[in-house]
Structures are given as structure tokens and as C-alpha cells.
Amino acid sequence: MTIPASFIQELIARADVVEIVGRYVQLKKAGANFMGLCPFHGEKSPSFSVSPTKQFYHCFGCGVHGNAIGFLMEHAGMGFVEAVHDLAGQYGMQVPEDDVSPAERARAASQRQKQATLTDVLEKAGDAYRKHLRQAPGAIEYLKGRGVSGEVAKQFGIGYAPAGWRALASVFPDYDDPLLAESGLVIVNNEEGKLSEEEAKRYDRFRDRVMFPIRNVKGECIGFGGRVLGDEKPKYLNSPETPVFSKGRELYGLYEARSAFRDRGYALVTEGYMDVVALAQLGFPNAVATLGTACTTEHVQKLFRFTESVVFSFDGDAAGRRAARKALDGALPYATDVRSIKFLFLPTEHDPDSFIREHGAEAFARFVNEATPLSRFMIEAAREGCDLTTAEGRAHMTSNVRPLWGAMPDGALKRQLLSEIATLVQLDASALSELWASTPGPRKAGGAPAQQRRHDEPPSYGDAGGDDYYPDMPPPQDYEPPRYESDSKPKFQQRKFTGKGGKRWGGKFEEPIEPLRGRGAPPSRPDVAVRLLLSNMAQWEALSHELHVMLCDLPGQHGALFTWLDSQLHEHGVQPWAALREGLRGLEFEALAERLMSVAEAGPIPEGEEAQHLADAARELASVLDFMLEELLKKQENEAIAAFGKDPDAPDRFRAIQARRLELRARLRASGSETA
């Protein structure tokens, strides 16, 4: 669905950013603006400003900024379309759906109404469970025995489901209401269709269990997890799949842990509800848990909407290693150069709760810091059972590691791993690339390629899907980044759409393109960035939040084009240039995009050189963005200097920015790109 820009403008004009932000942040009037503690990083003195006149928020500490839609995306983890619908609903506005048929529009409206109704039913049940907990000494004793305080129990909305078969009948007078079964609260035993709806037996799904509400990122109850008080089986029982709840996409504790991700710097993924609750009690409020299922790509993608660092915590036994192996598969497509993914294995006799109680929070924090990086765990998983002292064992590892390495997005991490893998199997990196290029990937029974991507998983540069496998290649020794003329100092404007996430496209990449040639002025750095990102939109998702903001804040048509590209990713996922070209029709920056892409379409890439062109384009984009970031850091240095004597934090801010800029300059110098 394409949402007209005119509607977005009207929505932002009608929404009150102070009201929206004020629901999550305590704001106080400070002159013409409102100030509060930034929800995106830990701070003791307020630096988060919200302007009612500009309808804009900005943090002078971490630099995050945006409008009401951007705040919902960043703070609540919503996608762009979801944030627009949520904000429009708060102000009684109907989101236009001009490109949707009346039948589809009615079906979508019915689905939204059904979801809202189901969450209302689940919220009502949750309230009842919490009331029952007050009169359940056994459940209270169990929670106390696990060290759960009343404050933490209230924070997570913990309750208790009585032992009776139809306890919910006192909460819902119409116990035969189909919504009770559809929400997963009531089981209908129809004896395989032999009984009528009236004769079918109905009873509560959850009985004599401590109840843990499962909330979505907006805080709505979408399901429950129940834990028995003794050792009966099953120990844990989850709500079934419903229109509002999917185990493969939801994480327990995510709503409660969002702000803690930013404060602690990482998300800690555990295996159970009690792990999350106990960790919050013991000083680790940044923990979440999967819901009785293996960690999926959807789980990982959702986590990276809130943080750039994820630590998976598992038991050290065989079952824990198997769970970690599945989490590795889900995490590999998101292992970009700007993200950190680690695996923590506790001693076999401990879970996080017992470990902290025996050894203390500091010891657990050290365990987290020393967790196994994804790169090391991937290689350990691939070499398991392989005797690397023999040629057969090394060949076996080569086969094991290929689909894992191929699932990773292109970047420095992936290239380093290619060299490390090549060393372990006693091959040159170029020889290993040639080997993988000349042989088809491993296949499952029935002819389907192994490690086949889901439609919503990100494609990597080493895996174009199906049999079109293009391996990554090491950079040529004589590679020299192209030179570009620098733009004048940019005047940074408000970024209209912020946040990350959105669907990914599972088809082939657009072919990369040669540098612009011909008469006229050389392309500017923003020109080159536009050309590379329009020719391969998947690269936008791999960029850091800081680079997203920098590009969207560029002046004039460049910034507007990048802002539009960001919104396209949230609305439609990764698209090829042909689709993007249609979406540009009639927009102010259509001519700019057409001009920059026209030369790109002039000639095809020689057969067999696709992977090298992709790698060259990725290096070219990284070089250009590094220079643009250095210019931005120079500007921020000057702003900090100008604030000396007015802002007591200005000297520290200047030193931090200067250190970053010098580090970036050293990297450019080391890569031979300093004069580009």
C-alpha cells in the first residue's frame, strides 16, 4: 500500500508530538519547548527537547531526532506503515488506500477490528488473572521462592489461573462466545467434528498456573504463557497461534525491555519467562525470551529494530548447543559490520537466574562481555565432527561452512571470515571462492537448494537465491577507490522518516553499475551514493542508523530522495530499480534519479563477473559514506567549539567527536582513500 505524501503531511500537522512523546517520557516546560530524559540513551540530566511549534523532537546528547511518526517507529519499534496507521487511529483519521480494491479494504478493516477485539478479550482475562493472584497463596509462595518481588510482578503483569475447568465463566458471562476460543483462552473439544457447536465441551486452557502476559511492542496483551507450580507436564504452556499472536515473531519481555536495550547497550535473549523476570529482578532488565520455539529470523530482525547488539544465552548442555545452532541460522543474515551478535554458554548446572544468585551480577556481566562472537561460533559449528588434520575432514568443513557463510550480508566481517575459513581448510581465499563459484550449493532431498531463504529474509552478496550463486571474492590488489568532487558544506534539514526495519526482498540483486562517465562535472559524493543505493536497494538496510540520518538530512533533492527511499523500504521492502523508477513518477527528484541511473543502464555486466561488481559497488559506497561522515563530524566539531562557555558539556562533546573523526581519518588513510 502506498500512502499519499499529502496524507502524511496532514497527519503530522494534526498530531501533537508533545502529546505523543509525553505518553512515554516525562516532559517539563522549558521556555518555548519541553524537556525530559532521553528515552534512547541513559542520562541523568535532561537533554531531550520537544518543540510544539516545529512538531519535532531532538536529543542534544545522542542526536536522535524526528517527528511523531519517527518517534513511534524508534521508541515502539513499529514499521512506517504501522506507525502511520497507529497515529492516524489516535486522531480519528482514515488512512487512504487508493490502490486497494473495496473488497481488500473491507477485509483489512475487518481484520484490524478483529485484532482489536481479541486484544480487548485478552486484556480482560489478564486483569482477572492478576486479581486471582492476590487470593492464591500457593502461587505467591512460588513467586517469592523464585525471588520475584511484588514490584517486578506488577511490572510484568503476572497473574494466576485458578484450578477450575471454567474459571473464566465468571469473567465472561457468555462463555460460549467464539472469541474466547479464537483468542486461545478456551479449548473447544468437538470430538473430531462429531458434536454440534452447542454440544461441544468447553474448558479453560490455563488452569492452576502462574500466568505471564505476552505483550506486543505497543504493550497490548496478545497471548499468555502459563507455568505450573509443581513438576507437572507440560511445565510451560503457551497460547496457540491466533490472529494476534505468532510464536515465531514475538518475544516475551520485549515491551518491558525496550528502553533497557539502550541503557545497557545490548539485548539478552534467554530461554524462558522466569529467566526474563528473574534477570529484571537481579539488575538485567534488558532480557527477552523466545516463546517455546527456536529463535527465528523474524525474532532477530525485530531485536535489531531496537539495538545493534544481541547476546544469546543458552545452557551449556547439548540441548543448549542445539538451540544456539538454530539461533545462529536466524542471526547470520543480519550479521552486518555495524552489529554485534554473541553466544553465551553458562555452565550446565546453571541458568541465568541460578548463576547470578550464586556468583553475583558482576560475574554474570563478565560472562556476557566474554561471550563467544558469532564469527567464532559459526566456525566452531562448521568444524564440529571434522578432523582438520585430514584432507577429508577439511573438505567436510568446507561443505558445512559454505551455506553459513553465504547467508551473511557482504561486508568486512564476511570477507575476513572467508580468509579465516580458507586458512583452516588450507586453501587460498581466491581458490576457495573459485571452488564455491564452480560447484552448485548443497541441496536437500527433492532438489531444493539447502539454506534456501524465506521471502522476507535479506539476500546476501554471496547468495542470490536458488542456483544463481555468486560467491564473494577478495578485493583485487590494485583496487583504488574512485575520486569525487565534494559538495559544499551541507545544511542539514529535518529527517522525515526515521527508524529501521521493514520487509526484505528475496529476489536477485539489481546489477551494479560502472562509475558515471561522459562530459560535465564529476559526480558529487551524494550523487554516487544515490546511484549505488538505487541500483542495489538492499545496501540501504545494511547501513547504520547514523548513516541513514546523515543521508536523509542532506539538503535539497538528495535528502528528499533518501527519505523517500527509506519510506519505500518500510512500505514495500527491497525493490529493484525498475520498481523504484515507477514509484518516482511525478516526484520532485525524479529527474535527478533518472539522470544518475541513465548511464548505469547503458551496458550489461560480463557473465561471471557479477559478484566482483557487487563487491566493488559495496566498497565504493563505503568509501563515499566515510568521506561524507567525516564532513559531518567536522561540522559537529565546529558546533561544539561554538558552544564553549555556554554549554558545560561542550568540551567533552568536542573531544568525543574529534576522537571519532580522527579514527575515521586513520581508517581512510590506511585504506588509501584519503585523497578521494
Between CA 619 and CA 626, with CA 623 as vertex, the angle to 5 degrees is 135
pLDDT by residue (tens digit) across 603-649? 445 556 667 777 888 888 888 898 898 888 888 888 888 887 777 77
Q: Could you tell me the strand order of the sheet in which 267-270 lies?
A: 287-289, 267-270, 309-315, 340-346, 372-373
- End-to-end CA separation in angstroms for the chain: 41
| pLDDT tens digits, one per residue of 355-371 | 888 888 899 999 899 99
Other beta carbons less than 10 A from residue 585's beta carbon: 7
Q: Residue 470 in contact with residue 462, Cβ under 8 Å?
A: yes
Find out whether 27 and 249 touch, Cβ atoms under 8 Å: no
Q: How do residues 657-675 score in pLDDT, each as one tens digit?
A: 888 888 888 877 776 655 4
Find, among 515, 538, 430, the residue nearest to 474 by Cα: 430
- Closest to 225 measured CA to CA, from 306, 297, 314, 288: 288
pLDDT over 60 (residue 103)? yes
pLDDT computed for residue 110 by the predictor = 67
Residue scoring higher pLDDT (473 or 602): 602
For 555-595, the pLDDT digits (tens) are 889 999 998 888 887 766 777 776 677 778 888 888 898 88
What value does the mean pLDDT take over residues 392-415?
A: 92
Give the separation between CA 112 and CA 107, rounded to whole angstroms.
9
User: Can you give the pLDDT at residue 100?
Assistant: 58
Q: Which of 63-77, 84-98, 318-332, 653-667 has the highest mean pLDDT?
A: 318-332
- Counting residues of the chain whose pLDDT is more than 90, the rounded percentage is 27
Each residue's pLDDT tens digit, 518-569: 444 567 889 999 989 988 888 887 888 788 888 988 988 999 999 888 888 7
Say which amino acid occupies 306: F
Rounded mean pLDDT, 424-447: 73
Q: Which residue has the higher pLDDT, 313 or 441?
A: 313
Is the pLDDT at 389 greater than 90? The verdict is: yes
Structural domains of the chain sorted by starting position, each given as residue range(s) with its CATH number in brackets: 5-91 (3.90.580.10), 112-238 (3.90.980.10), 257-384 (3.40.1360.10), 397-435 (no CATH), 525-599+613-672 (1.10.860)
pLDDT at position 449: 35
DSSP letter string over 233-264?
SSSEEEPPPBTTB-TTT--BTHHHHHHHHHHH
Q: How do residues 14-25 score in pLDDT, each as one tens digit?
A: 788 888 888 888
Residue 626: alpha-carbon gap to chain centroid: 23
pLDDT at 107: 67
Dihedral (C-alpha) 661, 662, 666, 672: value to the nearest 10 degrees? Answer: 50
317 vs 275 pLDDT, higher one: 275
Residue predicted with more confidence, 599 or 304: 304
507 has a pLDDT exceeding 70: no
Segment 415-424 mean pLDDT: 94
Q: Is 184 helix (H, G, I), strand (E, B) or coil?
A: coil
- The more confidently predicted of residues 559 and 465 is 559
C-alpha–C-alpha distance, residues 601 and 589, integer Å: 19
Under the banding of pLDDT at 50, 70 and 90, the label for residue 232 is: confident
Higher pLDDT, 421 or 472: 421
Q: What residues form DSSP beta bridges with 310?
A: 267, 341
Whole-angstrom CA distances from 485 to 482, 612, 632 are 10, 25, 16
Determine the residue type at 581. Answer: R
Average pLDDT on 297-301 reads 88
Question: Burial of 595 by CB count in 10 Å (0-12 exposed, 13-18 middle, 19+ buried)?
Answer: middle
Task: Place 65 in a pLDDT band, splitting at 50, 70 and 90.
Answer: confident
Q: What does the alpha-carbon distance between residue 265 and residue 368 come to, in Å, rounded to a whole number?
A: 12
Task: Provide the CA 309 distance to its chain's centre, in angstroms.
Answer: 10
Q: Are 17 and 56 in contact (CB under 8 A)?
A: yes
Higher-scoring residue by pLDDT: 214, 585: 214
Residues 6+ apart with CB under 8 A from 398: 421, 425, 427, 432, 435
What DSSP character marks residue 332? G
Which residues have C-beta within 8 Å of that of residue 654, sequence separation ≥ 6?
637, 640, 641, 644
Q: What is the pLDDT of residue 51?
A: 83
